[in-house]
Amino acid sequence: MSVLFRHALDLAWSDGRLSKRGAILLENFQEILELSDSQRSVVEEKHHLQVIPHLIPRGLGSGASTLDQWMTSLMDLDDELPRYLTSMGRQSLETGISKQAWIEGFAAAERMKCEFEFARGVWEPEFEVEILAWPEVLDPVAKSLGLVLEEE
């Protein structure tokens, strides 16, 4: 649930400031993910407490452009998104998926309406899955699944 919106917040605040455009894009993304205000507030409050105090302002909210590009890329995946998520699920199982990773990965897939495909990749060993290299736009999901180290 929070993986994708948390990444959107990181992008919007990437130069230490949030522009008006960035705020509007966050509003739009909230609607795309069908997040409730309370669900958004949980993620946003955590971000304000843990991330923003450590940011050094060095721009005027240029992160909005980065957020816009990422959102566009994510939307462009469309038909290929289920295949990527199935593959990511299978790869996470092979590396060993923790309970928290499963919860976050499933919630993200649910927001993208591909939860069934992701779950099949993890829980149906007889289901043949093509192992794919996921696109960079899905890095936040891959990080939550433990497929990518945070430092990378």
Query: Which spans of this chain sit near another protein (rule: CB under 8 A)?
Result: 93-94, 96-99, 102-103, 115-116, 119-120, 122-126
Instruction: Write down the least CB distance from residue 47 to another protein, Å.
Output: 23
Instruction: Write down the least CB distance from residue 152 to another protein, Å.
Output: 21
Cβ proximity to another protein: between 10 and 110 the closer is: 110
How many angstroms separate the CA atoms of 43 and 77, rounded? 25
Instruction: Write down the least CB distance from residue 92 to another protein, Å.
Output: 9
Closest CA relative to residue 140, chosen from 53, 29, 61: 29
Instruction: Write down the least CB distance from residue 54 to another protein, Å.
Output: 29
Instruction: Write down the least CB distance from residue 126 to another protein, Å.
Output: 7
CA distances from 46 to 18, 31, 65, 110 (A): 16, 20, 23, 21
Cβ proximity to another protein: between 44 and 115 the closer is: 115
C-beta neighbour count of 38 within 10 angstroms: 7
Cβ proximity to another protein: between 72 and 98 the closer is: 98
Cβ proximity to another protein: between 12 and 141 the closer is: 141
User: Which CB contacts under 8 angstroms, 24+ apart, belong to 10-14?
Assistant: 10/47, 10/51, 11/63, 11/66, 11/67, 11/70, 12/61, 12/63, 12/64, 12/67, 13/47, 13/51, 13/52, 13/55, 13/63, 14/62, 14/63, 14/66
